[in-house]
Each structure stands twice: as C-alpha cells, then as structure tokens.
Amino acid sequence: MAVARELPISSADRTGAPGSGEAGEDAAALAERHLIQPWPLAGSIGAEARSPIESGDGIHIVDGQGNRLIDGPAGMWCVNLGHRRQELAQVLYDQAMQLSYNTPWYTMNTASALLAERLAAHAPGDLSHVFFTTGGSSAVETALRFMQFMNNVRGRRDKKLILSRGGAYHGSTYLSASLNGRPRERDWMDGADALVVKLSSPDPFRRPAGMTVETFADFLVDEFSETVERLGAERIGAFVAEPIQASGGVVVPPPGYLKRIRALCRAHDILYVSDEVVTAFGRLGEVFASGEVFDLDPDMITFAKGVTSGYFPLGGTMISERLLSELRKTNNPDALFGHGLTYSSHPIGCAVALKNLDLLEGGALDHARSVEPYFQARLKELEELPLVGEVRGLGLMACIECVADRESRDPLQLDKDVGRRIDAHCQELGLLVRPLINMCVMSPPIIISREQIDAMVAILREGISRTMDDLRREGVWRG
C-alpha cells in the first residue's frame, strides 16, 4: 500500500540546529553523562539519550536524522496550534522585550488580568477567577491546596479526603501524583495515601463482564455513593476527574456518568474539580470542554498545555465565585492562602496565551470541530485489523487499544511493548506515535487537515500490519 512519506527537511534548514550532525552526537553524549529525563527507569537513569528533535513546522517535527514526522501526540498533548507559529513566537519576543518578568507577590501585569477575564468568559458556571501556575501538576496542586485552605478557614478541618479514579493521571508533584491511578508508577513511588481514596476506572472497554455500558454507569455512581456513605461526606473535600482520561488511554466515560457524579458532589458539598489539562483549548473543539461538551459546571477547572500551545510553560486553576465569596465573608484577618509560585501569572506565558486564544477563537476551534468526525471515523476503520481491540476517542484525541484476543480482550501477553513496536514502524514511515504499553494514543495538532489525517491513518494501518507480521513470525501472537 502507498504510504505518504514527506521529504526530509533540507540540510540547509538544519544548519546550526542543536541536535544536528556533530552537535547532535555531542548532545547525546552530554545527555548520557549529565541529563535526567522524565520518567526514567532505574537501570538507565541519568545515562540515557532520547531521540533528538531538531525542529518543527505545522503538524510536523524533524528528528536528528532529518526525518519529517507527523507529530501524533502534539508534543505531550500540547502543541495544539502546531509548531513554528510566527504569531506566537512574535508575542514571546515582544513581551520579553517589553516586560520579561514581574514579581506576582507585590505587583501584577496587564496580560494576566486580560487573560483571566477572557478565560472566565469561556468557563462554565461561575468560574470567574484564575490562579495561574507553571503547568498542569501545579494547577492540580493549587486546586487541592485551595480546598484544604477553604475547609480550614470554614472550620471543617476534617473535610480533606480526595476521591480519584483508576486510570487517572493528574501530575508529578507529590499531591497531584498521589491521585494517579495507573498501576505501574504507584508500585515504585510514594504518595499521600492517607488523603486519597481511589474509585474504579470509568473505562467502558474494561467494564466488568456481563455489564452493559448503562449498568456500568450505574455501578460507578453507586460506588461513589457507597464510598461517601462509608467515609462520611464531612471527611471528603474533593473529587478530581479528567473529563476524558488522557494518559490512561483516552477513556471516554459512559454517557451521563460525570453529570450524575457532579450532582452527588453538590448534594454532599464535595468540590468537583475537572482536570482539563488535556481536554481544553481545542482538543475537544472548545476552549473548555466541561460545560460545552459534558454539560458540567465544576467548582474548579485545572488547565495547562494547550493554553499556550506549548510555546511557554503555563497552567492555571479556575475557581468559582461562590467559593471565593464564601471565603471573603469569613473576613478572617489571619487566614492566609500560603500558596504562590515565582512564575505565577508570568507575563510572557499570559501574553502568548492571549494570542493563542485569539487564534483559537479566530478559526482554529471551528476547524477542529469540522475535522473531528472525520478524524474519529478514519481511525475507527483500524478496528478491521485483528490486533486492534478498540479504537475510541472524542474530538481530536483517540486511542488504538491492541489486544491479544478480541473475545477475552486480554492485553496481558502483549502488554510489554506492542505500542512501542507499532511506534517504531510508524516512525520509519513518517509518524510519531505515543505508545502506552498496549495502546497508541493519537492527539495531533488541532490544525491537522483531512489529507494529513488520511496520511496519519495510512501510516498507522501499515505500522500495525507490520507489527502483526512481526508478532506472528516470532510466534507470540496468532491473530
């Protein structure tokens, strides 16, 4: 089958780029001696060089060998408007030349106030205020520390437990990471376990045998109610949930389930925190998905990544007017929310986010909404391949989950590296995949065109077919 393969970027374009040629080899040697990459294994920590990426342009990145690849994961779900956007780069420069930093402890900058107002206008319910952070983990951390502070000020010092779910990913700081529900990381990392209670993953594909999706939703809601009953609502401060679990494998929950949990949270005075670090800023065709897509009005929304399309590290926590006014009413002269980051409300991040929002409102959101059905329909065709158990997703995020056997949906024998194998083949063919054990997650820049979606799906089909051939040849799979 013909697979789209674009030409490598010319060597002239690469001249001087860090990571190219000799500089690239030097960089690899230096990384192996001095750099610690995120999520390393003990056996290679501090001694590892990962694939150098030299440049990017639109939905493409260029690797150390000059190969041009479709950026399937949009970096880490963040380069929503694509690479090398002149408009965004210019704002970075202009803002840095005007004001590169101001202390948020004693001063403020205009960009942060303008951005807060624009975000409040997009947010559902009464989410009128923003606390800006440096990324997603610090946004989740802010939401949780705010809940603790609020309950302390209101004299409810025992109302601090946090409900989270299997399959969740909320970050890499101590408290946010304590919420994570993916088994492999929790085996080796400590967490604030006394503060966190885990509920079941809302993954319909992995629902208990014999349940329909509707009865699975009932099961999840009942489990929530029973947990509140068992622990006591007076001890539970917050429920934290991604509307779609992203790193957990693009888990789209059963219809209506989130809304039912939201209602229970309100009834029990438990704060509902919607973690939109991935789902906001166009990934689901809206600035925020909680209200527009899921009909939710959370007490807090956390965001990051796409807010600047990855051009500057920025995140934030939207907080409801109701909560803030209740706090103000206490009028306690000593109660200090002792929480702040040197880079809270960073002027460059906020200026870039304003331009990013202009571009989203000025056509990118419309474009995302127009290509979403095509993106999902084309990827769904890959279910024809026997290694593929399910293709699922919403908006411009999707997951191809591979299984050893479709009947039993057994991923175990394939767990180790089927995603990595598919990724290796796809990279040869011109696509970077985000492999997750037995899954391939796709979340390209939202500016992707129909033709580019066709190219992406053709490469995936070929990459999965080649992987099936390898597995058959090695005798580890008989599909």
Ligand X SMILES: Cc1ncc(COP(=O)(O)O)c(C=O)c1O
Residues of this chain that interact with ligand X (CB under 6 A) are 76, 135-137, 140, 169-171, 242, 246-247, 275, 277-278, 304, 315
Residues constituting the chain: 479
Q: Return the number of the residue (171 or 254) whose C-beta is nearest ligand X.
A: 171
In the complex, the smallest distance separating the C-beta of residue 135 from ligand X, rounded to whole angstroms, is 3
Q: Return the number of the residue (177 or 228) whose C-beta is nearest ligand X.
A: 177
Q: Find the radius of gyration of the CA atoms of the chain.
A: 23
SS (H, E, C) 108-121: CCHHHHHHHHHHHH
Q: Return the number of the residue (67 or 443) whose C-beta is nearest ligand X.
A: 443
Q: Return the number of the residue (314 or 379) whose C-beta is nearest ligand X.
A: 314
Q: Return the number of the residue (131 or 477) whose C-beta is nearest ligand X.
A: 131
Residue 381's H or E segment, with its range, is none
Q: How far is CA 362 from the centre of its chain?
A: 23
In the complex, the smallest distance separating the C-beta of residue 307 from ligand X, rounded to whole angstroms, is 10
Beta-bridge mates of residue 236: 161
Tally Cβ neighbours within 10 Å of residue 440: 31
In the complex, the smallest distance separating the C-beta of residue 300 from ligand X, rounded to whole angstroms, is 13
Q: Return the number of the residue (82 or 171) whose C-beta is nearest ligand X.
A: 171
In the complex, the smallest distance separating the C-beta of residue 71 from ligand X, rounded to whole angstroms, is 16
Q: Return the number of the residue (115 or 327) whose C-beta is nearest ligand X.
A: 115
In the complex, the smallest distance separating the C-beta of residue 136 from ligand X, rounded to whole angstroms, is 2
Give the single-character DSSP code of 3. -
In the complex, the smallest distance separating the C-beta of residue 133 from ligand X, rounded to whole angstroms, is 9
Distance CA 95, CA 347 (A): 7
Distance CA 115, CA 109 (A): 10
Q: Which two tokens stand for residue 337?
A: 């929310």
Instruction: Give the nearest residue (CB) to ligand X.
Output: 136
**Apex CA 13: angle with CA 11 and CA 15, to 5°?**
70
CA-closest candidate to residue 276, choices 446, 75, 112, 77? 77
Q: Which two tokens stand for residue 18?
A: 């860090």
Distance CA 183, CA 389 (A): 21
In the complex, the smallest distance separating the C-beta of residue 362 from ligand X, rounded to whole angstroms, is 25
